Amino acid sequence: MVYFSSRDLSAISLFSSLWAILNWILAPIVWELTHLPILCDVVGMSLLILTVWWIRKPGASFLMGVVTTFLNFILRPGAFHFLGFTVASALFDLSTILMAYQAKLDRRWIDHISLIGASVVSSLVAGTIIGSFFMNIPLSSKSFGRVSVFAALHGFGGLLGGLLGVNIIRYLEDRDVFSRELKCFSTV
C-alpha cells in the first residue's frame, strides 16, 4: 500500500512549486528593497500549514520542504541558504506530529495557536541556520547579536505566515471545502 496517494503528491508538488516560484521571483525583490528576510517565511510557513491541513499525514510538510529545496536549487543554483528552510520544514513536520495535528479534524483554537507557534519556532531555527552559516557574519562576540536579530526577523515572518496559513485554513473550513472534497472523492 502506498503511503502518499497521487492526490497527496499532487498537492505537495503544487504547494512546493508555488513556494519555489514565489521565492524565485518575489523574495529577491523584497530582499533588495527592504533587506528583511520576511517574505520567504510568510510564504513558506503558510504553505506548510496548508499542506499539513490538506494532506493530514506525517511527513507531508517535510516532503514539501525537500521538493521545494530541490526546485529552488534548479531555479537559483547558488541559493544554499534555502537549506535552512528544509530544516525548518522537518522541524515543522515533527512539531505537528508531536501535537497530533494530522489526526484532528476539529476546529479548536488551540490547534491553530499551536500551528502558529510551530511556524514561529521553525522560522527562528531557519533564521538561525541561515544567519550562522550563509550570511557571512564574522565570528565575534557581536555575531551572536546579529544572528539573533536575523533569526528574530525570520521568526516575525513565521508569525505572519502562521497567521496567514491559519486564516486560510479557517476560511476553507468555514466553507466546508475539506469535507465536500472528501465526499466527492469517496463516491468514485
pLDDT digits (tens, 9 = 90+) for 28-47: 899 899 988 889 899 999 99
The three cell numbers of residue 153 are 526577523
**Alpha carbon distance 27, 148 (integer Å):** 21
What domain range is 39 assigned to?
A: 6-179
**Alpha carbon distance 91, 133 (integer Å):** 18
Asked whether residue 67 is domain-assigned, the answer is: yes
The candidate with the shortest Cα–Cα distance to 106, out of 173, 56, 9, 48, is 173
Query: Per residue in 79-95, pLDDT tens?
Result: 898 999 999 999 999 99
CB 90 within 8 A of CB 65: yes
Tell me the average pLDDT of the chain.
Answer: 85
Asked whether residue 141 is domain-assigned, the answer is: yes
Please report, for the domain that includes residue 70, its CATH number.
1.10.1760
User: pTM for this one?
Assistant: 0.87
Asked if residue 105 has pLDDT above 70, the reply is no
**Alpha carbon distance 42, 50 (integer Å):** 12
Region 121-149: what's the mean pLDDT? Answer: 80
Query: 141-171: buried (b, 16+ CB within 10 Å) or exposed (e) per residue?
Result: eeeeeebeebbebbbbbbbbbbbbbbeebee
Region 16-32: what's the mean pLDDT? Answer: 92
pLDDT at site 113: 87
pLDDT above 70 covers a percentage of the chain that reads 85
**Alpha carbon distance 61, 141 (integer Å):** 36
Asked whether residue 100 is domain-assigned, the answer is: yes
Asked whether residue 186 is domain-assigned, the answer is: no
Domain count, the chain: 1
**Alpha carbon distance 104, 109 (integer Å):** 12
Q: Per-residue confidence at 180, pLDDT binned at 50, 70, 90?
A: very low
